Each structure stands twice: as structure tokens, then as C-alpha cells.
């Protein structure tokens, strides 16, 4: 799924969908059937939400008519299903700002500066935007960005450097193996002796760990220390409680991603804990024109299942149509027999 390039001018649309998880993707389909245009924003660089980010290879057994379906396969099928509707995708961007204009439309802005002028907003933001779990050790914050990093943008930057890599999952192990031999020295620090990464990567790392170019270390980070006012490295406590000063030029943290509701929490929406309250007729929030579907919403009896998100997306689409075209009579049409539906699906001229 390609991302649409950022533009200076606000993109006009009927709907901005915040979140490209299964609910947001199926939302494009339901809106498309009603001839409503959609733009989709997601903070992750790819579509699929939790399915792609957290469990792409796991099988799902409770999607109607698919006795078993891989999580990534489900996302791929949804992407194929919504292709006829040509929604715009804006990936790797978090929705940061929302404003309502006097005409009742909404101006939305993303972290990349993309702006939308939209009649309605559908929040399909799941648990919130996924952000890297931060190193909260004493003294860490001022060094974030310069010496403490959460993703590798330019691997060549670490050539000849002393690195500490934190984590026990695939990202930590993959980057350890990738940077081994390029960095001057790598210390891989994981809390426990068992790793979540692929066993083959763990075996390769153990074979390379000679205590010099690569050292495997178990313990937890207590603080960042400085040497002559410069970044010095990490103070790490091993399982026996002993402190170690591990010198480093850079620290790469791969502790996975944690969801954060972020700015959505400050948009004046009726929240119940960290979920958005909606009605069960249109899945509209307390702000007319803003809808919420999928894991992010709550109502009596809510179940956080993909199936629920699909149902909610169908009814929210009708709600949006009523909001955008209050004078039009909404007619339910079957995709099997309706020539209009066939046209919208690209099956007829
Ligand atoms: P999500 O999948 O969470 O997607 C939300 C998207 O919104 C994310 O991509 C996020 O990056 C984006 N986002 C959030 N805030 C912003 C913002 N401000 N700006 C831009 N983007 C934003 N369900 C089932 O029905 N059956 C199962 O078998 C099943 N198995 C599961 C197994 C595991 C291990 C897990 C973790 C979950 C499972 N689930 C299952 C639950 C299912 O994955 C969720 O119900 C589903 O993903 C919810 O879809 P969603 O689209 O509402 O939200």
C-alpha cells in the first residue's frame, strides 16, 4: 500500500479515517459502497494495525466464512477488497490536530504536516498510535535523539562506534547481527536469558558473542552516566544485583511499541477510561460528525473483536452518509444485485 505524497493544500474529502487497522480498512469499503470518499491516516509505516504489527503470522479463526486466516492474510485481503475505492493513504503520520470550522466541517492535521478539510472524521484508532517504549532510566531523557535511539535510520552512522542494544525481540537481534562487524563493539542487553526473537537469530548471536566485538549481557538499566559532561554509557544492574558501567557511544532501544491515545484524548470527546463513547445506531461520538469504530470505542456490551469493528464500520458509513447528505434518502442495496453497487465496485461501466 503506497502512501500519498504530502501536499501544501488541505485535501478535501467526505471522511478522514484515523487508523488503518482492520476496522479502518473495512470502513473504506463500506463508505465506498455509499459513494463517499475517504482518506486514511496511520502512524505506522504500513496498514493492518494490531494484525500486522503484533501478530502477522498467527491464525485467526473467527472471521465469518474464513475458517482460518492468517492475520497478515486478512489485511492483504482487505486491501484487495477496498482497491476499487481508491482511498488516499497517509502512512507514518500521526493525526495531531483537529479543529471544527464554523460551517461544521473539520480541519485535521498530521505530524507530517498533511492537512485535510473533511465533512466527517471516523476514529478507527484502536488502542491509540503505536510508539516505541522509551528508556525511562535516570538521566536518559536529555540524550534521546542524539545518543539514545528507538529506530535505525542511517546504519552507517554506527560504524566504528561502541553500541549498547537493548531488547530481546527480533528487532534487537536483527540489528545486533546487522551491525556486528561494522560497529567497534556491541553489548546486547536483555533482562532475561530467554529471547523472544527467532531461535535462528539467537543461535547466530550466541555463536558471534566473543565478549569483545559482541557481548551478551543480562540485567536492567538503572541510569545513564556521563564522562566529562559527555554521554558515557549505561549503568546496568545484573541479576545478582551488581552494578556495571557499560561504556557506549550510542544506545539502540528495541523494547517494542506501546499504544498511546495521544491528542485524540484532548478533542472534547466523551471518554470512558481510554475508550470513546458512541451510540450503537451510527457509532457517532458526542460530537456530531465524529464517529468511532473498532477497538477505540465503547458502548454497552462492546467486544473488542475484528468482527465487531466490521459491523460498526457498516453502520457508521450510513451515519456518515446521513451527516454529509441530510436531504438524501438512504437506500439499502445488495452488492449481489444492485447495478449502482456493481458500478462503484468497478464491475460495470
Ligand atoms: P487496530 O488494529 O489497533 O488499528 C488501529 C490503528 O490506528 C493502528 O495502526 C494505529 O497505529 C492507528 N492510530 C492510532 N492513533 C492514531 C493517530 N492519532 N494517528 C494515526 N494513526 C493512529 N480479534 C479477533 O477478532 N480474533 C482474533 O483471533 C484476535 N486475535 C488477536 C491476537 C492478538 C495477539 C492480539 C493482540 C489481538 C487479537 N485480536 C483478535 C484483536 C484484534 O486484533 C483487534 O480487535 C483489532 O485489531 C482492532 O482493529 P482496529 O482497526 O479497531 O484497531
Supply the mean pLDDT for the chain. Answer: 94
Ligand 1 atom at minimum distance from 95 CA: 19
In this predicted structure, the answer to whether residue 7 has a pLDDT above a threshold of 80 is no
121 and 41 Cβ atoms separated by less than 8 Å: no
Residue 4 pLDDT level (bands cut at 50, 70, 90): low
CATH of domain 11-130+259-344: 3.50.50.60
Residue 273 pLDDT level (bands cut at 50, 70, 90): confident
Ligand 1 atom at minimum distance from 61 CA: 28
User: What's the confidence (pLDDT) of residue 268?
Assistant: 92
Ligand 1: which of 41, 123, 125, 283 to mutate, most ligand atoms within 8 Å of CB? 125
Strand blocks (E) in 145-213: 148-149, 162-166, 185-190
| Residue 32 CA from chain centroid, whole number | 23
CA distance 249 to 247: 7
pLDDT tens-digit readout, 79-133:
999 999 999 999 999 998 999 999 999 999 999 999 999 999 999 999 888 788 9
Please give the distance, rounded to the nearest whole angstrom, from the Cα atom of residue 271 to the centre of ligand 1: 19
124 and 24 Cβ atoms separated by less than 8 Å: yes
Residue 182 or 330, more confident: 182
267 and 95 Cβ atoms separated by less than 8 Å: no
Radius of gyration (C-alpha) of the chain in whole angstroms: 24
Secondary structure in 3-state letters for 176-195: HHHHCCCCCEEEEEECCCCC
- Would you tell me how many other CB atoms lie within 10 Å of the CB of residue 266? 9
| CA angle (111, 117, 119) in 5-degree steps | 125
126 and 49 Cβ atoms separated by less than 8 Å: yes
Q: What percent of the chain has pLDDT over 90?
A: 86
CA distance 298 to 289: 17
CA distance 302 to 272: 12
- Mean pLDDT across 306-319: 98
Domain boundaries, the chain: 11-130+259-344, 133-256
Q: What cell does 181 get?
A: 562487524
Please give the distance, rounded to the nearest whole angstrom, from the Cα atom of residue 162 to the centre of ligand 1: 37
Residue 15 pLDDT level (bands cut at 50, 70, 90): very high
Q: Which long-range contacts (CB under 8 A, 24 or more apart) does 149-156 make?
A: 149/250, 149/251, 149/252, 149/253, 150/252, 150/253, 150/254, 152/252, 155/179, 155/182, 156/182
- Mean pLDDT across 260-266: 85
Distances (CA, A) of 262 to 212, 241, 255, 266: 42, 36, 19, 8
Q: Please, how many CA atoms are within 13 Å of residue 172, restricted to the half-sphere of its CB?
A: 24
Please give all residues whose beta carbon lies within 6 A of any atom in ligand 1, as ranges.
18-24, 41-44, 49-51, 54-55, 60, 62, 94-95, 124-130, 262, 264, 294-295, 304-307, 309
Please give the distance, rounded to the nearest whole angstrom, from the Cα atom of residue 229 to the centre of ligand 1: 43
Lowest-pLDDT choice from 128-132, 133-137, 281-285: 128-132
Ligand 1: which of 26, 49, 256 to mutate, most ligand atoms within 8 Å of CB? 49
Q: Is 78 helix (H, G, I), strand (E, B) or coil?
A: helix
Q: Which region, left, alpha or beta, applies to residue 25 given φ > 0 means left and ψ of -120 to 50 means alpha?
A: alpha
- Mean pLDDT across 254-262: 84
Nearest residue to 192 (alpha-carbon basis) of 215, 209, 169: 169
Domains 11-130+259-344 and 133-256 share a fold: yes
In this predicted structure, the answer to whether residue 41 has a pLDDT above a threshold of 70 is yes
> Into which CATH architecture does domain 133-256 fall?
3-Layer(bba) Sandwich (3.50)
Residue 274 pLDDT level (bands cut at 50, 70, 90): confident
pLDDT tens-digit readout, 198-229:
999 999 999 999 989 999 999 999 999 999 99
Amino acid at each position: 500500500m503506497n502512501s500519498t505524497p504530502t501536499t501544501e493544500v488541505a485535501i478535501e474529502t467526505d471522511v478522514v479515517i484515523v487508523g488503518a487497522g482492520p476496522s479502518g480498512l473495512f470502513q473504506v469499503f463500506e463508505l465506498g459502497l455509499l459513494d463517499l470518499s475517504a482518506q486514511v491516516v496511520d502512524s505506522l509505516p504500513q496498514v493492518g494495525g494490531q494484525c500486522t504489527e503484533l501478530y502477522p503470522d498467527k491464525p485467526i479463526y473467527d472471521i465469518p466464512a474464513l475458517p482460518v486466516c492468517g492475520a497478515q492474510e486478512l489485511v492483504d485481503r482487505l486491501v484487495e477488497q477496498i482497491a476499487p475505492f481508491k482511498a488516499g493513504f497517509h502512512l507514518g503520520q500521526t493525526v495531531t490536530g483537529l479543529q471544527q470550522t464554523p460551517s461544521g466541517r473539520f480541519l485535521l492535521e498530521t505530524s507530517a504536516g498533511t492537512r485535510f478539510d473533511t465533512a466527517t472524521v471516523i476514529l478507527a484508532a484502536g488502542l491509540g498510535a503505536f510508539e516505541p517504549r522509551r528508556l525511562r532510566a535516570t538521566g536518559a531523557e536529555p540524550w534521546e535523539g542524539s545518543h539514545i535511539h528507538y529506530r535505525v535510520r542511517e546504519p552507517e552512522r554506527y560504524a566504528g562506534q561502541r553500541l549498547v542494544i537493548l531488547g530481546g525481540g527480533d528487532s534487537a537481534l536483527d540489528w545486533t547481527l546487522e551491525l556486528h562487524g561494522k560497529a567497534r563493539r556491541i553489548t546486547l542487553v536483555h533482562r532475561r536469558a530467554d529471547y523472544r526473537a527467532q531461535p535462528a537469530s539467537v543461535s547466530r548471536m550466541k555463536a558471534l558473542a566473543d565478549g569483545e566485538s559482541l557481548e551478551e549481557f543480562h540485567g536492567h538499566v538503572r541510569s545513564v552516566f556521563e564522562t566529562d559532561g559527555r554521554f558515557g554509557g549505561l549503568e546496568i544492574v545484573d541479576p545478582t544485583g551488581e552494578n556495571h558501567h557499560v561504556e557506549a557511544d550510542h544506545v539502540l532501544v528495541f523494547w517494542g511499541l506501546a499504544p498511546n491515545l495521544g491528542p485524540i484524548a484532548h478533542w472534547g470527546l466523551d471518554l470512558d477510561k481510554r475508550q470513546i463513547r458512541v451510540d450503537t445506531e451510527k457509532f457517532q461520538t458526542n460530537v456530531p460528525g465524529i464517529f468511532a469504530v473498532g477497538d477505540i470505542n465503547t458502548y454497552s456490551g462492546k467486544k473488542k473483536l475484528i468482527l465487531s469493528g466490521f459491523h460498526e464500520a457498516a453502520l457508521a458509513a450510513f451515519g456518515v452518509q446521513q451527516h454529509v447528505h441530510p436531504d438524501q434518502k438512504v437506500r439499502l442495496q445488495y452488492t449481489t444485485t444492485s447495478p449502482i453497487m456493481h458500478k462503484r465496485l468497478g464491475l460495470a461501466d
